[in-house]
Amino acid sequence: MSVLDEIVAGVRADLAVRQAEVSEAALRQRLADVSPALDPMPAFRAPGLSVIAEVKRRSPSKGDLAEIPDPAALAGAYAAGGAAAISVLTEQRRFSGSLADLEAVRAAVPTPLLRKDFMVTEYQVLEARAAGADLVLLIVAALDDATLRGLHDLARGLGMTVLVEVHDEPETERALAAGAQLVGVNARNLKTLEVHPEVFGQLVKVLPDDVVKVAESGISGVDDAARYAAEGADVVLVGEALVKDGDPTAAVAAMRSSGGGVR
C-alpha cells in the first residue's frame, strides 16, 4: 500500500465518524446560511506571481513543522503579505489539521480559502462549503475518472473553485478531461513522498494557455518561487517555508515580488 493509499484509508475512517454525527441533509441545510464563495481566479490570472499560503502544522514527509496555536493569526499575517488565497490543512492523522482550523480562519480573514484535504466523497465537498471554503483540492491520483468529474461538477455547482492536482502527464490529461481550469502540479510523489522539482517544467508544456498553473512542493524560499514563475507558474502554493519563517507577512510579499510583478 502506498503512502497515498494509507492516507486515504485514514481519511475515510475519520469521515465515517463525522458522517455519523452530522447527516448530509444537515450539511445541505447549513449551506443556506453560508455567504457565496469568493472567486480567486481573477487574482490568479493577473500579471505576476500569486501565492497560496498554507496553514500547515505537520506533514508525513517532514513531521512536525510548527505548532500554530492560532491559525487565524497566521492567516491574518498571510493576508497582510498579499496572499491571493489561504490553504488550510484539515486532514487530522498525518497533518494535525481540522475543520475547526478552517472555520477559525474563515472568521478572521476575507481572503479566498482552500480546504486542503484528500477529497474522495461528495460529503467532504459539502463540508468544505459549509465551513466557508471557497476552493477545494481534488487529487487525480486518489480518484477514478467518474469520481473526479462528479466532485469537480458538484464543487463548481456550489460556486467553488477547484484546484485539480496532478503528478504526471496521464493525470494531467485526466484533469483537463474533467474540465479543470486550475491545475496544480505537485512535485512531491504522493506514493513515495520524494520531491522532483523538474516535474512542473515538464507538465506545464502540456497545459493549455487558458489554464491557471499552480506549482506545489519543493518551494523552500524566494529563489524556488522565482524559478517556478520563470517556468510558467501563475501561482505557487507554499506551506512549510512560510510556517517556519519568523515573518510570514514579509515572506509572502517576497515570493509575490519574485515572479516579476506584484499582484
DSSP 200-219: HHHHGGGS-TTSEEEEES--
User: Chain-wide mean pLDDT for the chain?
Assistant: 94
| Residue range of the domain that includes 217 | 3-258
What is residue 65's predicted lDDT score, i.e. its pLDDT? Answer: 79
Count of Cβ atoms closer than 10 Å to residue 156 Cβ: 13
Q: How far is CA 2 from CA 8, 165, 168, 217, in A?
A: 10, 17, 17, 19
* Joined grid coordinates for residue 38: 469568493
Q: Is the pLDDT of residue 58 over 80?
A: yes
Which of these is catalytic: 54, 103, 127, 171?
Answer: 54
Strand pairing report for 58-59 and 63-64:
antiparallel
The string of pLDDT tens digits covering residues 22-47 is: 999 999 999 999 999 999 999 999 99
What is residue 207's predicted lDDT score, i.e. its pLDDT? Answer: 97
Structural domains counted in the chain: 1
The string of pLDDT tens digits covering residues 179-221 is: 999 999 999 888 788 888 899 999 999 999 999 999 999 899 9
| Rounded Cα–Cα distance for residues 4 and 190 (Å) | 6
Which of these is catalytic: 50, 98, 116, 171?
Answer: 116
Rounded to the nearest 5 percent, the helix, strand and coil shares of the chain are 45, 15, 35
pLDDT above 90: percentage of residues in the chain: 82
Mark residue 156 as left, alpha or beta (left: phi above 0; alpha: psi -120 to 50; beta: remaining): alpha
The yes-or-no answer on residue 191 being catalytic is: no
What is residue 262's predicted lDDT score, i.e. its pLDDT? Answer: 45
CATH number where 35 lies:
3.20.20.70
What is residue 260's predicted lDDT score, i.e. its pLDDT? Answer: 64
Which of these is catalytic: 50, 98, 217, 258?
Answer: 217
Instruction: Please name every residue paired with 212 in a beta bridge, in sequence order, or none if there are none.
Output: 182
Q: Is the pLDDT of residue 59 over 80?
A: no
Residue 155 lies inside a defined structural domain of this protein: yes
Which of these is catalytic: 165, 189, 240, 258?
Answer: 165
- Cβ neighbors of 60 (< 8 A, separation 6 or more) are 3, 7, 94, 95, 193
The yes-or-no answer on residue 189 being catalytic is: no
Q: What angle do CA 12, 16, 22 make, to 5 degrees?
A: 135
The string of pLDDT tens digits covering residues 77-108 is: 999 999 999 999 999 998 989 999 999 999 99
pLDDT band at 62; cut points 50, 70, 90: confident
The yes-or-no answer on residue 231 being catalytic is: no
Please give the backbone phi and psi of residue 129, each rounded to the nearest 5 degrees, phi first. Answer: -65, -40
The yes-or-no answer on residue 91 being catalytic is: no
Which of these is catalytic: 50, 56, 127, 240?
Answer: 56
Residue 127 lies inside a defined structural domain of this protein: yes
Which of these is catalytic: 103, 127, 216, 240?
Answer: 216
| Rounded Cα–Cα distance for residues 110 and 113 (Å) | 9
Residue 10 lies inside a defined structural domain of this protein: yes
pLDDT band at 263; cut points 50, 70, 90: very low
Residue type, 123: Y
> pTM, whole model, 2 decimals?
0.95
Residue 76 lies inside a defined structural domain of this protein: yes
| Rounded Cα–Cα distance for residues 117 and 135 (Å) | 11
Let me know if 10 is exposed, middle or buried by CB neighbors in 10 A (0-12, 13-18, 19+).
middle
The yes-or-no answer on residue 205 being catalytic is: no
pLDDT band at 245; cut points 50, 70, 90: confident
The string of pLDDT tens digits covering residues 139-156 is: 999 999 999 999 999 999
| Rounded Cα–Cα distance for residues 207 and 172 (Å) | 8
The yes-or-no answer on residue 171 being catalytic is: no
Q: Is the pLDDT of residue 1 over 80?
A: no
Residue 225 lies inside a defined structural domain of this protein: yes
